[in-house]
Structure 1
Amino acid sequence: RFYRHRACRTQLAPTSGAMGYGYPAALAAKSVHPNRDVICIAGDGDYLMTGQEIATAVQYGLNAVVVVVDNGTYGTIRMHQEGHYPGADRVIATDLKNPDFVKYAEAFGAFGIRCERTEDFPAALEAARNAGRPALVHLITSAEDIAPNRTITGLRANQGR
């Protein structure tokens, strides 16, 4: 939504935004186009639905990169709860207890790198792209930054308008 794709057939995404689709789709794209860079951007909850496919990536040498954006929550669901049911006391079942995604990737034989600061992201992504094997960037963010250009504080401030 926020990246301009300048060439035809350079983005693969479902219209419905179904969770769990991205990483298997990225591996399919890499298997069809092994010489192209394939980068999957997935939220933590999204990746947890199909992240075990990293075993397939390692087994078949599908050297795609997945950037796991970890805000510790099912962000879209949380955003809807904040909008429809104002007040933190109405938030339920959206917090996640995540693994160390770097260790998870390494357990399968993939490359993993953790990134906690925006200025460190270019180097982390480059290291993943050059790993020579399937790779994962564990990008730590805050639930406060619930979506691009949206914060929980902002959602709460706009309630009732």
Structure 2
Amino acid sequence: MAELFNITRSQLSLFELGLRELPTTALIRASQIGNFMATAKVPEAKDFPQIADWEEEKEKFLEKALADCKHYQSTIIRKLPKMEEAYQATLKTLQLIDYLKEQAHKEDALHQGAIFILEDKARKSLKKCGPKELVKQQYQLLLLQKQEEWLNDLIANDRIE
């Protein structure tokens, strides 16, 4: 600012602290700048060649973000039916385990170690594809769908400044 007003930095500092007035030449310059800023047309990025590259970078970023978003959505869409199928199979396994436990007192019953192994596998399966994981994936898919809407809106309306 001192250079703009053609004064020293210390003169500007004293003015900012309220200890001195600006010289007349600086006041005239400040008035000219203020008048220019008040009457100048609102600039656009295209008016400045050095910003054109940034605009291009912005467009590339948005396009890549949209492509990534669609990719993640398709991954979840492919994953969800497999998770649901695994979850249903685990429920059937748990049902079988309950049946096998009821049969434990019979002579031809399955060995307890085998039942324990089945239970362990069912617990591990529930951690990977149980209700909690299914909801997490469905929630993630909803977020990605909303993100895709926003990105499309940003691209269509060029709303990032």
TM-score for the superposition, normalised by structure 2:
0.22
TM-score for the superposition, normalised by structure 1:
0.22
Answer with 1 or 2: which has the greater Rg: 2
More strand by share: 1
More helix by share: 2
